[in-house]
Amino acid sequence: MIAVAAPSALLNAGPGWGVRLVGIAVVVTFMASYALFRDWERFGPLLLRHPTLLAADTLFGALLLVSAGPDTTLAYVSVCTPLLAGLIYGWRGAAVFASLQGVILLLVHATLDNPNTEPAETLILPGLCVIAGAVGSSLRKLMLHLGEATRALAAVRARLAVTEAVDAERARLAREMHDSVAKTLHGVALAADGLACSAGAARMDPALVKRQAELVARSARRAAAESRELLTDLRREGEPGREVDVLAELADAVRAFRARCGAPVTYSRTDEGGGGGGLPSVPPAVARQLLSITEEAMENAHRHARAARVDVRAGVRCGVLTVGVRDDGTGLPGLPAAPNLDRLRRSGHFGLVGMAERAASVGARVSFGRGERGRGTEVRVEWPLASRRTEAGHDR
């Protein structure tokens, strides 16, 4: 509006200093408005601290208004000054600048050589200045209330996020303890009970007591080793940029399980590198969850299903890392292929719940089904290698 009104203001200005003053007003008001519009984050706080800057800009604009006349568009745009003052300074600033702008408009009308307007028409723009100031002050209050509500909502969301993170971490640690140390300690307790019974028998067998004592010692050492492994893995998950050869880790886990339990567990790779561009290296968090699911499936097959054979197969096909654990045991009647956590909890399958939660935590999919010829159980985990970039970004 300043640019549009500038030609009229310059033409109507008096010769000499009149033209110079109007020209200076055009340049100053235009550049000030442009600077505020372009870099408000920088100049806005300065304007907040120094209301005299807005007053000076208003006075420079008055020179344009006097020269251009009250019937130009610049006169109507000047109503925005009280609006801006109400937004920035509140109702006090709105009252001051509405009064100042109203006086300027009345003086502009008084400078006309032949005023042909009615008093009501003369008071229209000053009245609009008062209304604009009141609107600006009301908008300021509304925005302040909205800002307070937004901050309160952000604080509530932050607290909820912290609570959810704490709950998720508790659930994760519970799964880790359930799948490793808790089971071993349960075995220690059973072995200790057997040792106590043997030692308290009427005819104690020294060889049996010795074997049971050695079993308790081995189990206790195993629990200590699992605790160290758990702490090591939890620390390793926090190392950014580190990746793990998950297929080699799976092979080691199967060998360790076979040596510890004496179970007939075999491991084989299926379609190595098929469509995946080589053997996969995955983030530590993903590797740990896949290994834990595999170990839980082997443990279930050995302890609960009374399986004579357990096969672990892993490989990559079409960009998907697949790990399957198949046994020929008794199986689980009524086991759904797609796990429903609520149903699994109600039926007491907390180990399966832990598998599903572990898979979901890294973006994998776990499914349960029958083994070969409808006998036994198969646990199958699929993790798309495309998720590797996402996990790497989270680690960074």
Alpha-carbon distances of 15 from 12, 67, 122, rounded to whole Å: 9, 12, 28
Quick check: helix, strand or coil at residue 281?
strand
In this predicted structure, what is the pLDDT of residue 212? Answer: 78
Cα–Cα dist 374/392, whole Å: 39
Contact between 216 and 188 under an 8 Å Cβ cutoff? The reply is yes
Bridge partners (DSSP) of residue 367 are: 380
Alpha-carbon distances of 201 from 124, 136, 206, rounded to whole Å: 110, 93, 11
In this predicted structure, what is the pLDDT of residue 149? Answer: 92
Our CA dihedral for 302, 304, 306, 307, rounded to 10 degrees, sits at: -50
Q: Read off the pLDDT of each residue in 274-294 and give the average, rounded to a whole number.
A: 72
Residue 309 scores a pLDDT above 80: yes
In this predicted structure, what is the pLDDT of residue 116? Answer: 63
Mean pLDDT, all residues of the chain:
77
Summarised one tens digit per residue, pLDDT across range 230-261 is 666 666 555 555 677 888 888 888 888 887 77
Residue 191 tokens read as 């072995």
Contacts of 395 (CB under 8 A, 6+ apart): 239, 240, 241, 242, 283, 285
Q: How many residues does the chain have?
A: 396
CB atoms within 10 A of CB 350: 13
In this predicted structure, what is the pLDDT of residue 343? Answer: 64
Contact between 22 and 28 under an 8 Å Cβ cutoff? The reply is no
Cα–Cα dist 273/259, whole Å: 28
CB atoms within 10 A of CB 134: 17
- What confidence tier does 275 reach under pLDDT thresholds 50, 70, 90? very low
CB atoms within 10 A of CB 322: 18
Contact between 174 and 223 under an 8 Å Cβ cutoff? The reply is no
pLDDT-above-70 percentage for the chain? 75
Quick check: helix, strand or coil at residue 371?
coil
- pTM for this structure? 0.47
In this predicted structure, what is the pLDDT of residue 117? Answer: 62
Summarised one tens digit per residue, pLDDT across range 117-143 is 667 767 877 888 889 889 989 999 999
Where is 99: in which H helix or E strand? helix 80-110
Summarised one tens digit per residue, pLDDT across range 11-33 is 776 677 777 777 777 787 788 77
Residue 319 scores a pLDDT above 70: yes
